[in-house]
Amino acid sequence: MTRQRLAPQTGTAFVLSRGDRLRVIDPAGQQVADCIAFARGDTREWLSSGRTLDYNGTIYLTTGHILYSNRSHPMLTITADTVGRHDFLYTPCSAEMFSILYNAPGHHPSCFENLCRSLGGFGIAPDQIPTTFNIFMNVALTAEGALSVLPPRSKAGDWLEMRAEMDLIVGLTACSAELSNNYAFKPIDFEVTREAPE
Ligand SMILES: [Zn+2]
Q: How far is the CA of 96 from the centre of ligand 1 (A)?
A: 12
Q: Which pLDDT belongs to residue 197? A: 62
Bridge partner list, 196:
none
**pLDDT tens track for 146-178:** 999 999 999 999 999 999 999 999 999 999 999
Return the C-alpha torsion angle 47, 36, 78, 146, nearest 10. -80
| DSSP output for 124-138 | --GGG----EEET-E
- CA–centroid distance, 196 to ligand 1, in Å, is 34
Residues with CB under 5 A from ligand 1 (ion): 93, 111, 175-177
CB 10 within 8 Å of CB 189: no
Question: What pLDDT was estimated at residue 93?
Answer: 97
pLDDT of 105 over the 90 cut: no
* Residue 181 scores a pLDDT above 70: yes
Interval between CA 106 and ligand 1 midpoint (Å): 17
Q: What is the mean pLDDT of residues 108-124?
A: 97
* Cα–ligand 1 centroid distance for 32 (angstroms): 7
- Under a CB-based contact definition with an 8 Å cutoff, are residues 149 and 137 in contact? yes
Alpha-carbon distance of 62 to 81, in angstroms, equals: 6
The per-residue pLDDT for 198 is: 54
Ligand 1 centroid to 166 CA: how many Å? 26
CA of 92 to the centre of ligand 1 (A): 5
